[in-house]
Amino acid sequence: MSGGLPIANNRYFDNNFQRPGVKLLPNEFFVTREDMVLATVLGSCVAACIQDPVAGIGGMNHFMLPDDGADSSRATSDSMRYGAYAMEVLLNELIKGGARRERLEAKVFGGAAVLAAMTTLNIGDRNSEFVRRYLALERVRITAEDLQGQHPRKVCFMPATGQVMVKKLRAAHETQVSELEHRLAREMRERRAERSRERVELFAKPARPGSTEPGAVRTDAGRPKVELFGRPASTGTAAGMGRGEAQGTPTQGKTMEEA
């Protein structure tokens, strides 16, 4: 596989499947012809498991957000968190390894609203809609999916055969997923706040030189800055403010079934 890409390297031996395995963390991917297991745990993130059944090669990715990154010329761990890059890199590496695009088959998982905040931010739904749309545009057939809902998932993919096993987990028992979801929700709120500030700056009217009017835009080293809306409150006054169908996926997180 290409050097410099965020390839998963957490290898282990999977006692359940009695074969070598690789655990994928967020923003990673892995492509192989070996008879092994690719495993990951998902909350609002999405994993695409893609295989060429004729060539016997397959791969998995794990992305966090559907939006494009900032620099399309490189695929780093940071840009791989975005679905557009994660999907492009996975498809390119499969084709480099001998897969044919017209033979590729995909199984997709994740996109859950694990936290109450995720229902408002809609990250899981957006990730799910993105991966369906991307694969449709690339003409890669989705043969199975288990997307959205409220439960985290553990996904185990056998690239050599295309078999995928999915287990739904109890969110309270998945500390790693919960921590990631809280961090992602906080990041999304910060990004929205930043975009709101940028929109305010874009339409703000520059203040007259030396002006100290409340709410005025002041220029410092050529960069506009914006104060809070309205006049400051007076002393003592309070300021107001698919496609496809899930196949054999368990609902209680106690068993593993095939997708």
Collect all residues with Cβ–Cβ distance below 8 Å to 230 and sequence separation of at least 6. Answer: 214, 215
Which two three-digit tokens encode residue 169? 């987990």
**Is-contact 51 105, C-beta < 8 A?**
yes
CA distance 138 to 92: 12
Tell me, what amino acid is at 257? Answer: E
Active site residues: 45
**Is-contact 230 213, C-beta < 8 A?**
no
Per the rule left: phi > 0, alpha: psi between -120 and 50, beta: everything else, 236 is left
CA-based angle 170:127:25, to the nearest 5?
60
